[in-house]
Structure formats: structure tokens, C-alpha cells
Copies of this chain bind each other. A is one copy, B any other.
Amino acid sequence: MKKKNIIIPDITLKRLSHYMHYLSVMQDEGEVSISSTKMSDDLLLDPIQIRKDIQYTGIVGKPKTGYDLDDLIDAIKDCLHWNDYKSALIAGVGNLGSAMLGYKFFERYGFHFEAAFDNDKSKIGTKINGVEVHDVKNIARIARKYDIKIGVVAVPNTVAQAVVDAMLDGGVIAIWNFAPHRVRVPETAVVEHAQFSQSLAVLTRKLSILTNTDE
């Protein structure tokens, strides 16, 4: 039933997540179907590109009406594996870590924080948004105990790699890294770097081009 593990370009995956948000809003507004032209008007993207992206999900549309909204949302979620329930742990409960723990949308993505970690004695033992904060020393043990596959890194650069190594040691195979430094993982694991500086680079360059109207 499920489409096999075809390769979907990262850029398409990102657009699919974008569509998801939009489609959820449409769903909330009571729509039952959606066309690529309507999506195009609202999202300012090429309708052909939208159709092409949607083809990756395996969903087929109907001429004149478009795509069944519920089916499309479900297919995208399947594609992104947002229908699967996934336990995660997070290291670092500073402002960023706390923001992540309080981000209610994660539930939509099947994403659930099982445990948090910090090295600050005053935080250990407390709960943040219902998630208990443990000593970083116990990352590997607890990851293994709860069979957690995803680790979020929200610690300073200096300890990022050590935290990742502990996660890997505990059986984590997917790292979502928010520290500015890249971290290394073996080939048996995956890492996704979510660095502010990347989108900032795009923004500041765009801004300068906007400003420099001189020829």
C-alpha cells in the first residue's frame, strides 16, 4: 500500500511541510478539496511545482476540483512520517530548549518529548511543560531505557558533540542540532542542522539587494 522508499528532494520535503500548514488552515475553514491553482494563489508558488511536489506523495487529483483535502493532508503526513508517534529527548533547557518544549505544534508532527537534560543543578528534577529535566550524565541510560530514536541538541557549542555522542551511545539515530557548530554522527545515524545563521544569511543578503538600488 505504502509507496516505497523513493527519494524525495529535501527542498520538496520542505515545501510539503509548508503545504501541510496551509492545508490544515483550509481544513479548519471547512474546505473539502483544494486545487493547485488555489494553493498557488495563496502561497505564491508555481502551480506546476505544487502538482509536482504532490505527485511525490502518491495522491492523485481530479480535474476541475483538485485534491481531496483530507486525503492530501494524510498523504503528506505519511510522506513526512508525521503520522508515526516518535519519542524524542532534548539536551539543554535554556531559553531555546524551553521554547521547544513549549512548542505545541510538535504534537501535530507525532513528535513527543519524553525527557529533557541539562547540567544545571537547579534545573535538574524540575519539570518544563510536563517534561522532567534529568542530569546530562544520564542521557545514554534514559535514551536506551525508553528506546528513543530522536535527540534534539539545544546546548552551547562547547558541549554539543559530547551530548551527541551520549545520545548515539544510548541508541539515538537521528539528531536535530540547533547548536551553531556542526556535529558529527556515524553513517548509521542522520543529523539535521537547524542553524539560525543560515536563514539569516539569506535575509541579510536579500535586504542588501533591496537597499542597493544604485546601478
Contacts and interface: CB of A to CB of B under 8 A. Distances in A.
Contacts of A1: none
A33 interface: no
A interface secondary structure, majority: helix
A182 to B, nearest CB: 7
A206 interface: yes
Contacts of A98: 95, 99
Copies of this subunit: 2
A131 interface: no
Contact of A190 (B17, B82, B190, B210): B210
Interface in A176-213: 176, 180-182, 188-190, 192-212
Contacts of A105: 180, 196-197
Contacts of A204: 80-82, 84, 86, 109-111, 174
A79 interface: yes
Contacts of A203: 150, 174, 176, 190, 192
Contact of A80 (B5, B43, B196, B205): B205
A139 B61 CA distance: 44
A31 to B, nearest CB: 17
Contact of A109 (B103, B111, B200, B210): B200
A189 B174 contact: no
Contacts of A208: 5, 81, 84
A193 B99 CA distance: 17
B200 A17 contact: yes
Contacts of A194: 196, 199
Nearest to A207: B174
Which 3 pairs between the two chains have the least Cβ-Cβ distance?
A95-B99, A17-B201, A192-B203
Interface of A: 5, 8, 10, 13-14, 16-18, 20-22, 25, 43, 79-82, 84, 86, 94-96, 98-100, 102-103, 105, 109-111, 149-150, 173-174, 176, 180-182, 188-190, 192-212
